[in-house]
A and B are shown apart, each in its own frame.
Chain A
Amino acid sequence: MSPRGRLIVFLFGGAGLAVLFVLATGHLPDFGGSWHPYGERTVSNALLRQTPNVVSSINFDQRAFDTLGEELILMASALAAVVVLRGVRAEQEEDAGAHAYGPAEVFDALRITGYLLLPVTLVAGVYIVAHGYLSPGGGFQGGIVLGSAIHLIYLAGDYPALARVRPVPMFESGEAVAAGVFVLLAVAVTGHVTAMNAAVGLEVGCAVVLVLARFFDQALLVRTSS
């Protein structure tokens, strides 16, 4: 596309975004004010359901809808990363063991910190997923913590160990199954918050690991065969 064509497309999209943005934000309540129309509506809706826990009801009943959207967006981006960054014909992948990628020369302090933080972070992630219905957090947040926690192994300098810990096919099927389970739970409206959280956490954690795995492959293992 020529620069001129791109500019026209941008101006078109930008103008549309500006109009929608002004329309959407024009009637928002003032920052830090005491008038909370959204809060009043959600709380009265939650009270209609006769729930014992209003906060959980808002988080997991009324807002499960946007968790579904977020989760499917994440799944789409993970899929895109896997498709775009796959090995093409002119490239070939090297075996992780063929390199001196690990255990690498890192400071002992960094290595020990990584190994000490790994179990702590994993437990914190599981806690955030499991306790999400009572405290801030939930499946999405806990899943991201779990997914990024595994990469502490890489930061501690051991890429082969990281590659052994996360077999990609298992994470691919884990992500797909978890996304399917979440959609089923959301459609069936079972209202089982813990199961829903676990499904979201599994899906998000797998997606983060998969996206990062593709980037690791590109950065460390893929090369163009001459």
Chain B
Amino acid sequence: MNIVVPVKLVPDLVEELEIDDGGTALDTTWLRFILNEVDEHALEQALLLKESLSGTVSVISLDGEGVDDVLFASSAKGVDRLIKLTGVDYGVNVNNHAMARFYATTVRILEPDLVLVGVQAHNDLDGSLGPLLAEYVGMPYVGYVSGIAPINGRCRVRKEYPGGLIAEMDVEMPAVLGVQAAESPPRYVAISRIRQAMKTAAVDEQAAPDLDTTGGPMVDSMFKPETAERATMITGDEDEVAGRIVDLLRELGKA
């Protein structure tokens, strides 16, 4: 079972987000980029499949701040091949249509049985990567997946619907699957093993094809939501806050 996992870094939402002077993009000066959370699940699911069925896992990413760290961490987790697409100016708006076209070129060459992508990213504005990539490489796509069991050239996937309902679908391989959650939480690796990987793992750098962003919308203004009814903030230390919460509950007859 050969699996490709394209990964993407996204702004860490724990940090304060500022809009740049142009008014259409985030100010990247203080932004911290982290691996998209569901991509981490896609990677974990790939490693679980590799461990139970043998095979290889390749991770691809577009070059950018923090990407090397992510690649070396994946290597430390057991990824066989690290691929970095270089030469793309991040100043240009790389949307998912463009990203899917980049990765399609690599996927066609690697001919994997499965491509596992995170089902979405919080900054997707032109759809998620998975279905676009699937269509460009001519594979079927199923997303919102939280379980994958390969059997005879197909895999039975668990697709999540609201309310905890699961639909089981049989998908012919090769396929692209949009992972929502791996069958077990993403593993941790010790920093020492990542350092080791930095010394030993090779990153295969490949020139990205020409950028083509058609298929996504243009943004002419970016802003923070107006907070019409922001919560009334309870100030003070935990004693005061606890006291006020108990008062509120008491008013409702709940305490």
Do A and B share a complex? no
Q: Which residues of A approach B to under 8 Å, CB–CB?
A: none
